[in-house]
Copies of this chain bind each other. A is one copy, B any other.
């Protein structure tokens, strides 16, 4: 491969602030970004529209959505008929908004696309600080997935190896807000809310809204979120 060709990266995009900053960081490192959203039957379809918008805004060369219907296996407030909790104080347990094996499934699909593209780099915005209740948002998970990717694919077995980048892993939401500001990310284009309306306006009350607002507050940045 010529040194002049840009390295391709598959970046998982949810339309929220974390994945927007992740795209911006991959672009800053010179990657050609192929943005991927996984439609897993989630309630908040406005996040898919935001994903497309955010990817375009941040210079991705393309954005694809792959559908996987996790509603049929149930188990989460985000895909099944369980109420999204509002303002939960106790975060010691794994929250009901956890989608079983979601990040494993999304990274697996990203891995498949990377293999087709000839890309060896997966990027995702998972974060262990604010969402520590999710087992698949921890460094050990990313490391185990990278190991798996390197035995599971042609690129891993025959090529130079696959890397899984999770640059936000140890950042707080305030760190992420500051990093986005440094990179010129327009956060008003992003949607984090678990139950945003059809126009992408946030509820202001769910866990995702609460954490996001707190991040801007702690970073001393005006919250650009469009609330319903």
Contact = CB atoms under 8 A, between A and B. Distances in A.
16 contacts: A64-B73, A66-B69, A67-B67, A68-B69, A68-B109, A75-B116, A94-B154, A100-B115, A100-B116, A101-B108, A101-B115, A104-B149, A135-B154, A141-B148, A144-B144, A145-B152
A2 interface: no
A121 interface: no
Interface string A49-68: 00000000000000011111
B116 A135 contact: no
A110 to B, nearest CB: 9
Interface string A74-117: 11000000000000000000100011111111001101110110
Given A75-B116, A104-B111, A104-B112, 12 more contacts: A68-B69, A100-B113, A100-B116, A108-B108, A135-B151, A135-B153, A136-B153, A141-B148, A141-B152, A144-B151, A144-B152, A148-B148
Interface residues of A, number: 43
A interface SS class: helix
